[in-house]
Structure 1
Amino acid sequence: MSSLRHLHLDSSKRQPLLKDHTQVGDEPLSLPVKKVHTHPCISGGDEDASVYFIGTATTVIEWQGMRILTDPNFLHAGDHIHLGPGVTAERLTNPALALHELPSLDCILLSHYHADHFDQKVEASLNRLFPIITTPHAKKCLTSLKDEPFERVTELDFFESVMLHTGSGPVPGTDVKPVVRVTGTPGKHVPPGALAAANEFLQAVPPVNGWLVELGYAHDMATGADPETIKTGYRIYISGDTLFVDELQEIKRKLTDEKIDLMLIHLGGTTIPGPKMPLVMVTMDAEQGLKLMHLMDPDVTIPIHYDDYSVFLSPLSDFKNKVDEDGWHDRVVYLDRGEQYRFQVRAAEEA
């Protein structure tokens, strides 16, 4: 990975998530977890990290006191969003909690600037100093808002990385500190060919990133260690709103023999303008999702982004059937909204 940047996120100095909160202490202390899931085959009871599913592509990744919110969408059933020229969608479900019910967070990971991933109420409510990591396109949109532009937006292109420093001390018995490295990965929201060419001109559907989120350990830069070196204890791949395209193979080539521990896969077979007139599909359906499992070969897959809006054509049951037919059922964890998957990050000396 290249073009590494650094973002220092001291949990003792967190920015409030919302504009109307004057301090982080205004937020709740924890997430309301309905049910906890662990590895379908192995669970030692010593899990120290988690993914919490809120709805759509909105999750909270938590480890070593750091919390990362992905693709914040907190609209409720009956609310509508704009997805492009002449295309709207209705929310069919409710999120696991409201935006103001979130505990304190460190940053937002935004795959692209689309209303089902960054809705109008979120945009209006967020503190403009809250850190956001996103695509170059989304940064341009967020920092050029007329009334109140966002001020702490970090852009990542494909295979650019940012290191998140937690501000915590060394892991006991070691000289390394916990860090999180986030790397942008390729995604295509529009199928290749004439449609992609037309979209380049019309800019109807925004560019999208996937992400590699590596939870691990690094030496303090002051020691003279290589700033790009990280001992990865757990690697999460988030697909983003992509189709199964050739560019995804570059992710595996970059990783060589390194393992993906967990994949959060965006499904749903999103169609434009909608299921009643499915002219074009812009996110993976069940068949493409299974292909991505074969390509990435993650230890565990969690499907997200599959039934929250009226533009989804491929229900979760389609994916379950494909997975079962292929014999991969013991490598998938299904989370309902408000449920959490807990996992163990390899220790510093094991990473």
Structure 2
Amino acid sequence: MLSSTFTNKVTITHIGTATATLDIDGITFLTDPFFSPAGTTFQSSNHTLHTYENPALRLDQLPPIDAVLLSHENHPDNLDELGRQLLDGRRAQPRAPARHARLRRLAGARGTHRRQACVGFVVHTADFGVAPDGRLNAIYFSGDTVYRGDLAQVAEKYHVVVALVSLEKATLDGLEITMDGRQAARLFRDLKADALVPMHYESWDHFTQNGEGVFKEFEAEGPGKAVEIN
């Protein structure tokens, strides 16, 4: 499924909502750190948000984290107080020089922004190699964003071997902030990605499309076997 020119070892462990570890050749990224237990509530400007599932891992069960991809600092389901503790702890944790050097090689993680909002991260390094058509191999993490046609520009420069995409058509204060299954399928085609890893489709009462609905739309839109479930 992945490009034959991409030989790096990638392991993705979904922890909950948009939180996952992304291990690339022993360097570990953490996406949108949320670790509050089931039953926790958060007050938005107009209503109370409820989470009803425990994360698959607690903070003390995490492997060493080298970098964090944070899509939204002001969304409680992307960063809670426990996640903030982890971020604070990262500032004080020394890293071995060898790991620093390896992380610098992965320093091509950059946010894709539109009108001051983060609409995804592209993770790339020379170690990933180049696709047969000359584009750089990369991994994409959407974070919380709706479908945007201009995200197709990512595929002009990068060959996306794995796309981690937040779903569930979440709404907050009347605004849709993540994609539904059809939008995610469309983005998947725009990115010309090899594999799609769906995230952010459970655990909250402000998610308006359940997992069954998401995957029915995948079936209708055709990502098919390119969808990977962790």
Range of TM-score over shorter length: 0.7 to 0.9
State the one-letter code of the partner of 1:212. Answer: V
Change (3 A) 1:247 1:87: farther
Q: Among residues 3, 17, 20, which one is paired with 1:59 in the alignment?
A: 20
Q: Where does the alignment leave 5 or more consecutive residues of structure 2 unmatched?
A: 93-98, 131-135
What secondary structure sits across from 1:74 in the alignment?
A: coil
Alpha-carbon shift at residue 51 of structure 1 (Å): 1.1
Quote the residue 1:167 is aligned against.
Answer: 101
Quote the residue 1:245 is aligned against.
Answer: 148
Report the Cα distance in structure 2 between the residues aligned to 1:96 and 1:215, rounded to whole angstroms: 29
Quote the residue 1:100 is aligned against.
Answer: 60
Alpha-carbon shift at residue 215 of structure 1 (Å): 4.4
State the one-letter code of the partner of 1:181. Answer: G
Quote the residue 1:208 is aligned against.
Answer: 118
Q: Among residues 48, 62, 65, which one is paired with 2:9 in the alignment?
A: 48
Quote the residue 1:315 is aligned against.
Answer: 210
Report the Cα distance in structure 1 between the residues aligned to 2:19 and 2:178, rounded to whole angstroms: 16
Q: Which one has a larger percent helix, Structure 1 or Structure 2?
A: 2
Change (3 A) 1:304 1:62: same
What secondary structure sits across from 1:121 in the alignment?
A: helix
Q: Where does the alignment leave 5 or more consecutive residues of structure 1 unmatched?
A: 1-38, 132-149, 151-164, 169-176, 189-205, 218-229, 274-278, 336-351
Q: Among residues 104, 111, 119, which one is paired with 1:184 in the alignment?
A: 111
**Once the two structures are superposed, what CA deviation does each residue of 1:218-247 show, in whole Å capped at 9, x if it has no partner?**
xxxxxxxxxxxx845841111121111233
Asked whether the equivalents of residues 90 and 310 of structure 1 are also in contact (C-alpha less than 8 Å), the reply is yes
Q: Among residues 180, 183, 198, which one is paired with 1:303 in the alignment?
A: 198
Percentage of matched positions with identical amino acids: 27
Provide TM-score, normalisation by structure 1.
0.55
Asked whether the equivalents of residues 36 and 82 of structure 2 are also in contact (C-alpha less than 8 Å), the reply is yes
Q: Taking CA–CA contacts closer than 8 Å with sequence separation of 6 or more, which of the two structures ends up with the larger relative contact order? A: 1
Q: How many residues align?
A: 216
**Once the two structures are superposed, what CA deviation does each residue of 1:152-195 show, in whole Å capped at 9, x if it has no partner?**
xxxxxxxxxxxxx7425xxxxxxxx953410111358xxxxxxx
**Residues 1:284 and 2:184 aligned together:** no
State the one-letter code of the partner of 1:266. Answer: S
Report the Cα distance in structure 2 between the residues aligned to 1:127 and 1:271, rounded to whole angstroms: 26
Provide TM-score, normalisation by structure 2.
0.81
Q: Among residues 25, 39, 47, which one is paired with 1:78 in the alignment?
A: 39
**Residues 1:330 and 2:225 aligned together:** yes
Alpha-carbon shift at residue 102 of structure 1 (Å): 0.8
**Once the two structures are superposed, what CA deviation does each residue of 1:22-46 show, in whole Å capped at 9, x if it has no partner?**
xxxxxxxxxxxxxxxxx5x999xx8
Change (3 A) 1:42 1:249: closer
Q: How big is the alpha-carbon RMSD for the aligned residues of Structure 1 and Structure 2?
A: 2.9
Which is greater in Rg? 1
Quote the residue 2:163 is aligned against.
Answer: 263
Asked whether the equivalents of residues 19 and 34 of structure 2 are also in contact (C-alpha less than 8 Å), the reply is yes
**Residues 1:91 and 2:47 aligned together:** no
